Structure 1
Amino acid sequence: MEINPAVTFKHDRSVMYAKRPKVLIVGGGIGGLTLGAILQKSDTPFEIFERTPEVKPLGSITSLTGAAAPLLKQLGIWDEFYALTRELAKVQVVVAPDLETQFVVSAPDDAIERYGAESRVLPRPKLHELLLRQIPKEHVHLGKKILSTQQGGNGVLIRCSDGTEYEGDILVGSDGAYSAVRQNLYAQLKKENRLPASDGLPLPFLNVCLVGQTRKLTLEEFPDLAKTESQFKNILSKDKPYAWATFTTEQMTICYAVTQYLTAETSKDNDSFRNSEWGPEAAQAMCNEVRDFPIVSGRKEQLTMGDLFDWTPKECISKVMLEEKVFKTWSDTRTVLMGDACHKVTPEFMSTKFGLNPSGGSGAVNAIHDAIVLANYIHALPDHPIAEEIEAAFVAYRKERIDHVEHAFTASQAFRNMVDSGWKAKLMRYLAKSMPSWVSVALEKKVMTNRPQLYFLPRDTTPAELPAAPQPSLHLKRPESRKKNEDVVAVAEVAAVEVV
């Protein structure tokens, strides 16, 4: 297929066989799989391309608030999701080395009545597996590292490192902070002097994080697993540039995250693995550095992070970058970005460092919300959409999402600043600890009103005291075809006779 930017076919939809645009999704993470699971419920053809040759059980905990519940219910997987999770009801913040409790922040007791669902946590790999089960295997292609992309008025084309090529009508970049789709798109825009200067700058990062999940443990090994609610312990250090957190899961495992706050010098030391997202290769050295960090387990004997590492299969530990940036450019022509590819916000285990941050779970929830809104606009496209119609849909998608994304980014920045030294950081920690309940409620409402749904599936009608925020894409409607199906078939038959 030759993708010619200068060529746009002039459609006469009255004589064309009804054809939905084919979507190529690059990236098999939470965002890409969510979009795939949604498109599977529609009549939109799609393919997913993941660069890794196999699905690896990487990552730590994922927190999904009630803001993601409507979609899971629309997809018919809420009960299955719920069975995999534990409620995240409170965060206990303690200080090492004595592990004295500094304060406890609790979620509202009436979260279900307020928002329709409470916050639930599960291992990231379990959410990944759940979404993957919603998609037929033939739609997911592994070992497909993208080398180049091309787009024009008549379609999109991707080329992979194994020599294969794939054609489609829409290209979705859901391939993470160092997105190959974004890099290809931005290179072309820069060549045409259409890329904002800020989008051409490298991703800033100040922190690195070690994440993992243990094997299944016994109550003798970790007594806190007996408690039905997830035990979320945030541990701060008095004298080290680290914070670490542990979570108990429904699978009787411990998910954990150790965050190192970098200086100018240590940033240089960690720059070498900048492009190896969720990679285990660089994890061992950091494991050795933090083995002696104490944790809370419910046992009389003191356990440390080293015990968790010893209980974890080596392939389930990884070291990741924690970058933060919201890009200005989300799309062009037939290419669109979503999730970390266009807005990288600190993951949920970071943003809850000093309590139940209203933006907790922002990484996964924002990717899911992107998928909902983008799917709505794709579904509302007419048959045989031209490039201008596709691009207009992408502009509307960004407009609907950008305020929510920027709010999550701002909240994440504010909470991250609490780890700095000096009186300002101490004041911020004091204010977080002493925050009046009415302020917490106001912050929660800002986030929890954003509960988007798919317009083309039956609505989730779960009662909630807090109404959902206005959602423009919920009121979309696909244009009707110019011709009835019988007329289209008749035209096709006449054309076939003429060809013969």
Structure 2
Amino acid sequence: MEINPAVTFVHERSVMHAKRPKVLIVGAGLGGLALGMILEKSDTPYEIFERAPEVKPLGSAISLTSTSAPLFKQLGLWDELLSLSKELDAIQVVTHPGLETAFIIPAVENAAKRYGAEARLLPRPILYDLMLRQIPKERIHLGKKILSTQQGGNSVLIRCTDRSEYEGDILVGADGAYSAVRQNLYAQLKMDNKLPASDALPLPFTNVCLVGQTRPLTLEEFPDLAKAKSQFKNILSKDKPYAWITFTTEQSSICYLCIQFLDSESSKDNDAFKNSEWGPEAAQAMCNEVKDFPIVSGGEKQLTLGDLFNWSSKDLISKVMLEEKIFKTWGHCRTVLMGDGGEGGNSAFHDAITLANYIHALPDHPIAEEIEDAFKLYKKERISWVEDAFSASQAFRNMVDAGAKATITRFMLKKMPKWVGGIIERKILSNRPQIYFLPRDETPVIMPPAPQASLHLKRPESKKKPQLQEEKIQTPEAVVAADDAEQIPQPV
């Protein structure tokens, strides 16, 4: 099967049988599953392709803020999510050696009344299972490692290493930092001299992370489990390039992660495997390196990360790379990229909501230009929020890292006036996107959400000519301007 990008059939939509664009999603991480869950509620056909031959419950904890609550409420999953999670308490930042409290980052006050929901914490495998159950099994294809992709004016094609091929209208890369979809797309753009120079640079590789979760523990083993809210303890080393974090869960387990900050030399030791995961031997080697690091359990007995490792199934402890970069190229022709979820999740969920809105608003039998225009609007709506999330992530890294920059960052956090923190909080938590084609989440809130262009989309009538016009899929600026009369609140 071949695709000739130079050939585009001219079709008259008014005489064609209505056909929705088929979406091929590469990557069954949180981002890919979120997009699948949303499309499952629409009339848009889709399939998900995952390189792993089986689904393994890997990962640590996920903190879902009020910015993701509307998604789960609209999908009818909020009550179940509440039963599986704990409300997140204040973040206690502790220094080592000494295990002295450096400062406390308080939880958002009255979050449910102000923003619609409090932050919830649950194990990543538990959330993954909840999401996976919303998608029919026949929609997910495991063991499908992408070999190549090809796109043209009429369709997009993916080829897998097992020699299978799949054709669709839209290709979504939600397969991680070293995305096969991104690599294929960028290689083609580079050949055509259309790839920005910054996108061709290697990903910054600055830290690795060990993640896992224990079996259910008793209160004698870990006294902090008795507390109603999830205990978030972030331990910073004064003399080692590490930070480690523990969380208590509704399932009485302890989720944990240990971050190693790499310099130019240590980066070389970890650079040989350019992928998002290593084998169990690499995880075990890192466990041996950090097993004596102390943790805070709420009891008198001094525990270490090694105790958590002993309480965990060894094949469910994993070592992952954490890379962060904002790419300029988000999509081209029929291919688009989105977040895979990583250990965070909220940003990937927002990508999924926004992208699903613009895909759903496409006409029947969309041509490549219409699809590409929709991708541009998707990026335009998301880019400022992604940049803000990137800055927040960098600030967190500066806080937990070693050296003068970390010391200054922690000092500024401790001395930050409450009103400044309030401004930052309102800006972050105003980003509460919703799916435009499902019933709205009408939870009463004190602080309304920021304007969302894709919330005001409307699918064109199927007999219209193939054209993406403002009255069909409007730009964010047009939507905001049109809604000024309705006094939609602006983000703080």
- Residue 45 of structure 1 corresponds to 45
The count of corresponding residues between Structure 1 and Structure 2 is 464
Per-residue deviation, residues 255-312 of structure 1 (Å, max 9, x unmatched): 0011111111101011122314375341111100111111111232111100000111
The 3-state SS of whatever aligns with 1:315 is helix
* Residue 425 (structure 1) shift: 3.2
* Residue 2 (structure 1) shift: 2.5
C-alpha distance in 2, partners of 1:269/1:466? 48
User: Which amino acid in the other structure matches residue 26 of structure 1?
Assistant: V
* Residue 8 (structure 1) shift: 1.4
- Residue 211 of structure 2 corresponds to 211
Q: 8 Å contact 1:19–1:383 — kept in the other structure? A: yes
User: Which amino acid in the other structure matches residue 480 of structure 1?
Assistant: E
* Residue 17 (structure 1) shift: 0.6
- TM (normalized to structure 1)? 0.91
C-alpha distance in 2, partners of 1:108/1:160? 46
- Residue 317 of structure 1 corresponds to 317
Q: 8 Å contact 1:58–1:278 — kept in the other structure? A: no
* Residue 419 (structure 1) shift: 4.2
- Residue 478 of structure 1 corresponds to 459
- Residue 329 of structure 2 corresponds to 329
* Residue 420 (structure 1) shift: 4.8
The 3-state SS of whatever aligns with 2:277 is coil
- Residue 402 of structure 1 corresponds to 383
Q: 8 Å contact 2:21–2:170 — kept in the other structure? A: yes
Q: 2:397 aligns with which of 412, 416, 419?
A: 416
Equivalent residues in 2 for 1:378-389, closer than 5 Å: 378-389=359-370
User: Which amino acid in the other structure matches residue 468 of structure 1?
Assistant: P
The 3-state SS of whatever aligns with 1:339 is coil
Equivalent residues in 2 for 1:209-288, closer than 5 Å: 209-277=209-277, 279-288=279-288
User: Which amino acid in the other structure matches residue 108 of structure 2?
Assistant: P
Q: 8 Å contact 1:60–1:123 — kept in the other structure? A: yes
C-alpha distance in 1, partners of 2:18/2:264? 57
Q: 8 Å contact 1:21–1:44 — kept in the other structure? A: yes
* Residue 211 (structure 1) shift: 0.6
Q: 8 Å contact 1:279–1:320 — kept in the other structure? A: no
Q: 8 Å contact 1:292–1:305 — kept in the other structure? A: yes
Equivalent residues in 2 for 1:287-436, closer than 5 Å: 287-340=287-340, 363-436=344-417
C-alpha distance in 2, partners of 1:448/1:162? 44
Percent identical across equivalent pairs? 73
User: Which amino acid in the other structure matches residue 168 of structure 1?
Assistant: G
- Residue 62 of structure 1 corresponds to 62
Equivalent residues in 2 for 1:5-16, closer than 5 Å: 5-16=5-16
C-alpha distance in 2, partners of 1:398/1:279? 35
C-alpha distance in 1, partners of 2:301/2:100? 16
The 3-state SS of whatever aligns with 2:345 is helix
C-alpha distance in 2, partners of 1:387/1:402? 22
* Residue 329 (structure 1) shift: 0.2
User: Which amino acid in the other structure matches residue 33 of structure 1?
Assistant: L
Q: Which structure 2 segments of 5+ residues have no match?
A: 465-492
* Residue 10 (structure 1) shift: 1.2
Q: 8 Å contact 2:178–2:276 — kept in the other structure? A: no
- Residue 478 of structure 2 corresponds to none
Q: 8 Å contact 2:239–2:402 — kept in the other structure? A: no
Q: 8 Å contact 2:240–2:402 — kept in the other structure? A: no
C-alpha distance in 1, partners of 2:93/2:294? 13
In the superposition, relative to structure 1, how do residues 203 and 423 fare at CA in structure 2: closer, same or farther (>3 Å)? closer
Q: Which structure 1 segments of 5+ residues have no match?
A: 349-362, 484-500
C-alpha distance in 1, partners of 2:437/2:37? 14
User: Which amino acid in the other structure matches residue 53 of structure 1?
Assistant: P
- Residue 145 of structure 1 corresponds to 145
Q: 8 Å contact 2:398–2:405 — kept in the other structure? A: no
Q: 8 Å contact 2:148–2:159 — kept in the other structure? A: yes
- Residue 134 of structure 1 corresponds to 134
Give the aligned CA root-mean-square deviation in angstroms.
1.4
* Residue 9 (structure 1) shift: 1.6
The 3-state SS of whatever aligns with 2:397 is helix
C-alpha distance in 2, partners of 1:260/1:92? 20
Per-residue deviation, residues 445-497 of structure 1 (Å, max 9, x unmatched): 111111000110000000111111111111100011229xxxxxxxxxxxxxx
Q: 8 Å contact 2:24–2:171 — kept in the other structure? A: yes
- TM (normalized to structure 2)? 0.92
* Residue 98 (structure 1) shift: 2.1
In the superposition, relative to structure 1, how do residues 31 and 482 fare at CA in structure 2: closer, same or farther (>3 Å)? same
C-alpha distance in 2, partners of 1:395/1:109? 37
C-alpha distance in 2, partners of 1:368/1:280? 29
The 3-state SS of whatever aligns with 2:103 is strand
C-alpha distance in 1, partners of 2:34/2:376? 21
